[in-house]
Every structure is written in C-alpha cells, then in structure tokens.
Structure 1
Amino acid sequence: MGEGVIAILEFGLFVFLATAGISVVVSLVAHVYSMVLEHTADVSGLRQRLARYARIASGLSERVEARKSTAAGAATVLFSTQRQEAQLKKKVRELEASPHRFVRILGHELLPNRPFEFLVMNSSVSHQVKRGERHAFFDSSWARPVPVHVWATNMEEARAEFERAFPRTLGFKITHAQSLPTDVALTDPATMTLEAAP
C-alpha cells in the first residue's frame, strides 16, 4: 500500500517535472525564434534603408554632374563673350587711331533725302579725357569733333534727327554743320572739303 502511494507520487512528480521542462524548452525555443525573427526584420529594414540611401546618393550624383555641365557651359559662354568684348574694344581703339574718319550715319539713304554732315563732340567726354579718365558710356573719340552724317530732306529735319539721337542733355554739341553732295557722301568722307553751313 505504502509502496503504491510512493509510486503514484513519484509518477506525479515525474509528470510535473516533465511538463515543466517541456514548458521551459518551448518557452526558450519561442524566445529564440522571436529573436531570430526580430533580427531578420532588422536586417530587412536595414537593407531597405541602404537601398533608399543609395537612390538618394545616385540622385545627388546626377545633380552634381548636371551642375558641372551647366557651369562648364556658362564658363564657355562667358569666355566667348569676354573674347568678343576684347575684340570689339580693340577694333574701336584701331578706329580711333586710324587716319581715316569714322563716320556715324543716321537716317535712310533714299531719295528724296539728302546727306548733311555735323561735326560733333561731347563736352563731358572731353573734360574726362583731359583729366586722363574714361567716360562710363561713350568712347574717347567724342572728345574731339567727329563726323555724323544725317540723311533728311532739309537741314532743320536733319538737325532734329541728330538731336534725337545725340541729345544735348548728354553733353553732345555741334561744332559745324553743312550739306553734302550725294556723290561725296557715298564715297570717301575724308576727301570732303568742309564749308560752313548757312
């Protein structure tokens, strides 16, 4: 009788311990599995973030290359413009130093218009040249009388057209005015003999 009770107790204890052990093992396995799942999820998220960062880096690289191309194009345009400006300034200096006259022409060279010549200077430019300075807007050739040919029907109309293009408010003033023969105006102005206008 006593041995039967002890056997039952031993069996019950064994079952209890076995059940507890199985529960511990199952819990441990579940914990390990959950950690594995979390680790896997973290790796997947990290991969997604890395892929996103790679796309961002690629986009930034493309923008940098585009900016480089734009900057290179702008530099080329700037260099070309500066070269053209230097060439134009050189041409103006050559014309200023040339023994031939540089003639500015206004109006339409069509009948019934006739050519009129005005010798013009700019007092503001003249003052600055005397001080050894350059005018901000006009070249130094205006410091002395230069010819301006105006095509108009009469002297009054020619003078009005001239003053519209070269206003007195900017310092331009006429030192001499005359009517020109048409054949002289269309050839070399340096061969013309100046005569006082009426």
Structure 2
Amino acid sequence: MWNDYVQALIAALALSGLAYGAARAVVHFGERSIEQRHGLVGIRGMMTRRARMEQAFEARHAARAKEVKAFDAELREVVRRRQRLDRQWTDATNAGEQLIRQIGEEVEGAPCWVAHVINRYVGTGNVPRSPILIDRSWSQPQIIEVWVRSMQDARAEVERRYPPSFGFHVQRLNEHGSGDGPAAKAG
C-alpha cells in the first residue's frame, strides 16, 4: 500500500514537472511570436524603455512648467513696465497741456519769478457772488511767471492780477531756477 502511494506521488510530481515545462514552453514561444510581430527584443526590454521614456517625459514636463512659470513672471513684469510707461506718457502729455500764465514782459537778463497760485473757493461751493467766473482748474496750483525786479514786486503784481478778496492765494513764490518751476524762454 505504501508502495502505491509513493508511486502515485512520484507520478504526480512527474506530471506536474511536465505541465510546468509545457507552460514554460508556451510562454517562451508566445514571447518569441510577439517579438517577431513587433520587432522587439523582449517584453521586459519594451517595458524598461517605456518606463525610461515616461521618466524622461515627466522630467521634461517639470522643466517646461518651470520655464512657463519664469516666462509668466517675466510677462507680468513687462506688463507692469508697460503700465508704468503708459502712466508716464499720460503725465507727460498732460504736463505739456499745462497752462503757464505770464505777468510782465520777458526780457533777457531780467529776473523771472515763478508763483504757484490757487483759489480757495473753487471746489468748496462757497464762491461769493461776483461777476467773475472762476475755472475749476484753480482748485489745483496754477503756475504764473512774473517778470519784475524783486520778489515784493512779483507778489504785488500777482495779488493785483489775482486778488485775495476773490479767494486767490499765493502758495509759493520762487526765483526761476531755485524752485521746481518751468524754464522760461529768454529773448
């Protein structure tokens, strides 16, 4: 009886070995047919190449994302510079339209005084009843060039032309070149 069991066990082991060999042969011949069909060295080689390609694509994607971020920051800086230049352009255009009033005659060698005058009533709604209509621009300092001999004469001429009783006030009075007033033409 033990003999029969041992022979059955040996037969089972032999059959399982033959089945393993047959399965291994089927897998080997299947791999070879796939390699012949696709021209590949092996499935493992193909998977290795695909993994390498995937890693290369991920590295390239990360590098491109970094480049896009740098270009985006550069673009934002260019837009900021453009906006700043647009503001400077608008300011320069508006500065060219600024009216400079003049009292006296421009004479070469004579001193020029630059006065900044505003009207206190403009924009407050407290304009007294008078026959004079005052422009809204007088709420901001207006530049007046005064061509006289002294500062006292300049102040007197400005106050004569723009009387304090109508709300005009001299904020600043400088000799041309000592303040931030405009350059006057000589001649």
Q: Aligning the two structures, in what range does the TM-score lie when normalised by the shorter sequence? A: 0.3 to 0.5
In the superposition, the TM-score normalised over structure 2's length comes to 0.41
In the superposition, the TM-score normalised over structure 1's length comes to 0.38
